[in-house]
Amino acid sequence: PTAGGLYHWASLLGGRFLGWITAWFNLIGLITVLAAINVGTYLFLLGAIAPAIGVNTAALTPATPTAYSILVQTLIVGSITLSQAIFNHLGIRLTSKLTDFSGYLILASALGLTIVLLVFAPHLNFSRLWTFTNYSGKAGGGTWPHTGNLVYLFLLGLLLPAYTVTGFDASAHTAEETIDAARSIPRGMIHSVVWSGLFGWLMLSAVILAVPNMNQAAAQGGNAFFWIMDHVVPPTLKLPLYIAIAIAQYLCGLATVTSASRMVFAFSRDGGLPGSRYLRKVSHSFRTPMVAIWAVALLSVAFTIYAPVYTTIAAVCVIFLYISYLLPIVAGLFAWRRSWTVMGPFDVGMLYPVVAVLAIIGAAVLLFVGVQPPNNQALTVTIGVLVLTTVIWFGFERNRFQGPPISREQIAARAALIASEERAIAGSGD
């Protein structure tokens, strides 16, 4: 296993072009998901902390972004991203400890929030969990355009849950720094999805059950969660929960910088990006891909300036991440039992084609959802990236990019290169 993750798998299964385009889309998805996480953290702080300290957020969260709101958002999101990049630059050990801590914090805060909401709920009407009501348009605070089609509205509602169930490939990007990666990486990916999905569902169920009045809560739109907390949870419990959630979001962004920078490093090591010779540099003092870390940080902040609306950023990252997840799965489905006959130690056997087809259908639905109003800008971004991808591939990379090492000779040469770089790093400093 290498730090390339999806990129390496797609190259093995579908050739260098599929590998390159997978890496390209995955990288764009990781950069935009970092932007979404940090903008989400900023908006959460506005909704949770700002009112408690007397800050009026009306000018900071207008219906249509203004120059002032974008400036403040950029400054705060930039500061958050800067600190995450510094932590990553200072070494994988510190980052790993913080990331490990975040796992426990997320679990504890999710459980704490769930229990508090259930305990202090005015009443528990469990029929809400299987009751469907149309809260589009004005009834839902303008979150989604009005529609009379409940199936379509349900599909639109999948967007943000899908955004939270991304980044499960993060462990693959640190494969070269992981013991027994061929087994522990797949287990880590599956556990992250299963446990986050289970506890996320329980937490959201608790939120719905705790709502004092569904119609009034829905009318709050994007402020519904804070409205519910204000009406249900005592202040002495609310603030500690807010702080824990904010820290968890920050650490999620920290882990995303790690994942994205390793993706840039692996891709650049194979010459897949403009400026690869610089992007693949490793700090001898901290043993981290320093240029890749700062490139990811800068690009993510820049994207928030171009597309400052949170749901649009989330839609873009879902589109590109799920395209990158989809490509090696499609390639694997065609290669399974043909050119791909030797399985790794983590093997689902005859279930593979079933799982692959279900994954393809699910990803296709999410791609459709991601470009629906009010996230029309996501479609513009997607088309623009596809055009840019075509230009870069045919103009630069088609003749230059050779792909990751696949043959035994190439793998042996790469292993020797990594070993020599390790010796050089161990014996010198920046």
Query: Model confidence over 155-211: pLDDT tens digits?
Result: 999 888 888 888 787 777 677 777 788 888 888 888 888 988 888 899 999 999 999
Q: What is the pLDDT of residue 1?
A: 54
Question: Is 90 exceeded by the pLDDT of residue 4?
Answer: no
Task: Give the whole-angstrom CA distance, residue 187 versus residue 199.
Answer: 18
Q: How confident is the model at residue 402 (pLDDT cuts 50, 70, 90)?
A: confident
Residues 332 and 356: their CA atoms lie apart, in Å, by: 8
State which amino acid sits at residue 324: S
Answer whether residue 281 shows pLDDT above 60.
yes
Q: Which residues of 16-49 are buried (b: 16+ CB within 10 A; e: fewer)?
A: bebbbbbbbbbbbbbbbbbbbbbbbbbbbbbbbe
Cα–Cα distance for residue pair 264/296, rounded to 1 Å: 8
Contact 237, 219 (CB under 8 A): no
User: Model's pTM, two decimal places?
Assistant: 0.86
| Structural domains of the chain in order of their starting residue, each with its CATH number | 6-426 (1.20.1740)
Phi, psi of 276 (to 5 degrees): -60, -35
Give pLDDT tens digits for 85-143.
999 999 888 888 998 899 899 889 999 999 999 999 999 999 999 999 999 999 999 88
| % of the chain at pLDDT higher than 90 | 54
Backbone angles phi, psi at 271, to 5 degrees: 75, 30
Look at 46 and 424; give whichever has higher pLDDT. Answer: 46
pLDDT in tens, 6-34: 888 898 899 889 999 998 998 999 999 99
In sequence order, the 6+-apart residues with CB closer than 8 A to the CB of 322 are: 29, 162, 166, 363, 366, 367
Instruction: List, in order, residues 6 or more apart from 284 with CB less than 8 Å away.
Output: 424, 425, 428, 429, 430
Q: Is the pLDDT of residue 144 over 60?
A: yes
Residue 2 confidence (pLDDT): 63
| Spatial distance between the Cα atoms of 257 and 266, rounded to a whole number of angstroms | 14
Alpha carbon of 374 to those of 32, 73, 154, 252, 379: distances in Å?
A: 18, 20, 15, 26, 11
pLDDT digits (tens, 9 = 90+) for 309-368: 898 999 999 999 999 999 999 999 999 988 888 888 888 889 999 999 999 999 999 999
CA angle 14, 370, 318 (to 5 degrees): 55
- Check if the beta carbon of residue 126 is closer than 8 Å to that of residue 205: no
Please give the Cα distance from 40 to 148 (Å, whole number): 29
